[in-house]
Chains A and B, each alone.
Chain A
Amino acid sequence: MGLFIEVQVAPEASSKPAVVKKLVEVCPVNIFGEREDGGLDIIESNVDECTLCELCLDATEPGAVRVIKLYDQGQALERSA
């Protein structure tokens, strides 16, 4: 979790190699990394760089990713199922 932004990825999405690769590909500020076992790594040092572009939301199934603005009473960007 960053100072301003928190990114949450549902466990069922973060364990799918195809979803992980997609998240790594679309994020312009490198918040997502791929672990050696193919799982998802959230790179905490980059989380506050989030530009709120929502590309991660567009690249995944509804409900898979939530981007939370910690400075705005926890308002979350997410796609509802």
Chain B
Amino acid sequence: MRFYEFESKALLAKQGLPLPAVSRVAGTPAEAGAIAREIAGPVVLKSQVLTGGRMKAGGVLFADSPDECESAAEKILKLEINGHAPRGVLVEGRAPVAQEYYAGVIYDVLAKLPVMIFSDMGGIDIEEVAEKHPQHIAKLHFSTILPPSDFRAKELVSSLGISGSELNRLTRIVAQLARSFTQYSLTLAEINPLARLEDGSFICLDAHVDMEAEARDRQQAILEELGIGPDETRQARPPTPFEIRGAQIDAVDHRGVAGNVVEFDGDLGLVIGAGGGSLTLFDAIRRHGGKPANYCEIGGNPSVSKTCELTKLILSKTGVRKIAVMMNVVSNTRVDIVARGVIKGVIESGYDPAHKIAIFRIPGSWEQDGFKILSKYGVEYCDRSVSMFDAAGRAVAKMQQA
């Protein structure tokens, strides 16, 4: 879940991270001019969009006077960047920068730990620094159980040869960033550039945070404080009617999950899930050369009606020729209940399950009953002796034969 820069800064300010003294969003050129008058000096104006490439697109401008600020704001407010209209324009005072740094925290999925990243080359993409100047980048994993410590942050910063008061000041900032990351369930917290000003103080010139979407309920208080409503999905694009309908199906019944539907343009509908199974199976379909029509997640024993409605939704999508029903080995989802829902959905859509279901691979609880249901309707199924990867291969092969 993405945050605008002004929201990211407001969130980081709660941990005491240093921000420009005046940093406010204007919705009109006149408001921007008023903020510039308050700053009484050179300002920077930044488009508030949930996409990158602002500078190149002309979404970041500088102004030396309130009049210049108004005309710059007018340009920015009219400018769409990558199809995104700006939420407003952020106006801040321009700081006399001596050096730019990078500080970030992300989650390392391989190490299964968050990692602090620091570089003494800020203001450019950190990926570029990692590729061209790896000696200028330092990383350090930290625990999600113990609170992030200043000591670890100091270890990270000092590993690049930084010492003295600069080290002390940067340590505090990096540790505060790590604490924000864990406290607010973030998946990314980034300050770039983190500037050392000519007077030796530090300031976060730009900030970017992403929050784990699943944490929205837990983080409701801060979201409300930032004015982010429950209807704001903050995804890369607005949900399609297909995806909205998927969310409605999931919401109508508390039993289990049959949602998180994402639309793609392929011809193989997917009813997939179970402990990371959705991602694994989606990738497996693509690896075999298949074209998924959708992504979704089922699990937690969804009701027959919920699975039925999800199946009907997927089959109603233009271009879907067959569906593949696959999960990891399940213990808290019943195979027979899913089988009933899927077959009912296929029949109610006016199709023959034997032809419309390319493969059914859900091993686990009540699989014997599930397999009896599938046998009755002539659906090809397999048990846990067939891997998810091979089951995906069978589904793709069937699509190629059809």
Q: Which residues of A contact B (CB under 8 A)?
A: 3-4, 29, 45, 48-49, 51-52, 69, 71-72
Contact = CB atoms under 8 A, between A and B. Distances in A.
B362 interface: no
B372 A72 contact: yes
A3 B369 contact: no
Interface of B: 303-305, 334, 337, 340, 343-344, 347, 369, 372-373, 376
A49 B376 contact: no
Given A49-B304, A69-B369, 7 more contacts: A4-B340, A29-B303, A45-B305, A49-B305, A51-B337, A71-B376, A72-B372
A48 B372 contact: no
A8 to B, nearest CB: 19
A18 to B, nearest CB: 29
Given A3-B344, A3-B347, A48-B340, A71 B373 contact: yes
Contacts of B372: 69, 71-72
A12 B347 CA distance: 35
Contact of A48 (B304, B334, B369, B376): B304
A3 B376 CA distance: 11
Contact of A72 (B304, B343, B347, B369): B369
Q: What are the 3 A-B residue pairs with the smallest beta carbon separation, nearest first?
A: A71-B373, A71-B376, A4-B340
Nearest to B368: A72
A32 to B, nearest CB: 17
A71 B370 CA distance: 9
A40 B237 CA distance: 50
Contacts of A29: 303
14 contacts: A3-B340, A3-B344, A3-B347, A4-B340, A48-B344, A49-B304, A51-B334, A51-B337, A52-B369, A69-B369, A69-B372, A71-B369, A71-B373, A71-B376
A51 B302 CA distance: 12
Nearest to A46: B305
Nearest to A70: B376
Nearest to A48: B304
Nearest to B374: A71
Contacts of A69: 369, 372
Contacts of B376: 71
A49 B369 contact: no
A3 B343 contact: yes
A11 B373 CA distance: 29
Nearest to A5: B340
